[in-house]
Amino acid sequence: MKRIREIFLTQYIGAIVIGMLVVQAIAGFISLLMQPLIWYTQARESRSVMQFALPFPWSQLLPSAITVVLYLVVSYLLFAWLYQTEEGKLAAGEAEKTESQSD
């Protein structure tokens, strides 16, 4: 795993994959916002006098919402795995120790 991490970091493959995942999440979120608007305009235009208004099928948005959340979670986990440093972990631990000692 360390070799794969090194390749992802040195060849910028990891940054490209993270960027693609974030873009997919943004596109999915925009699609998620547009679906109710499109449904509302289509239902409003095609409704007749004798037809009653059907409620929006909110359950159809669930797969898109789950997909957006999964894209964001995977991109965050990949970012955390690729760009974590041992020095950063130690520096955070030392900073906490110095704060507790100063109190």
Per-residue pLDDT tens for 48-93? Answer: 666 676 777 888 899 999 999 999 999 999 999 888 876 666 445 5
- Domain that includes residue 9, residue range: 2-46+60-102
Contact 18, 74 (CB under 8 A): no
Residue 55: inside a domain, yes or no? no
As to burial, measured by CB atoms within 10 angstroms (0-12 exposed, 13-18 middle, 19+ buried), residue 71 is buried
Q: Is residue 75 part of a domain?
A: yes
Q: Does a structural domain hold residue 90? A: yes
- The tally of domains found in the chain comes to 1
- Domain presence at residue 36: yes
State pLDDT tens for residues 8-60. Answer: 778 888 889 999 999 999 999 999 999 989 888 887 777 666 667 677 788 88
Does the model's pTM come out above 0.95?
no
